[in-house]
Amino acid sequence: MGIIVTIIVGFIVGLIARAIMPGNQAMGIILTTVLGVVGALVASYGGSLLGLYPAGSPVGWFASIIGALIVLFVYGLVTKRS
């Protein structure tokens, strides 16, 4: 059950991050979900390592979105065509 919740939350976080980030991000549903899951993992491990917020806190949603924005920005830099 936990993996299904992770995928759903990752998809929602990925959609929010893509809506906030300006520009055109040409990616499908799978990549959006992966973006959200990776962003959530980055935020949860970063927040717990720095002791910023406890696990399961509502702040984790905002941190997950910020983590997904960072991952989306790096993804844009890596796949940028000149």
Residue 1: the pLDDT is 54
- Give the domain extent around 10: 2-78
Question: What pTM value is reported for the model?
Answer: 0.79
For residue range 68-79, what is the model confidence (pLDDT) as tens digits?
A: 888 888 888 888
pLDDT at 53 over 80: no
Mean pLDDT of the region 11-40: 84
CA 72 vs CA 9, 43, 63: distances in Å: 16, 13, 14
Burial class (CB in 10 A: 0-12, 13-18, 19+), 29: exposed
Residue 82 scores a pLDDT above 70: no
Who has greater pLDDT, 53 or 71? 71
The answer to whether the CB of 65 falls within 8 A of the CB of 39 is: yes
57: three-class secondary structure by DSSP: coil
Q: Mean pLDDT across the stretch 12-39?
A: 84
Say how many domains are in the chain. 1
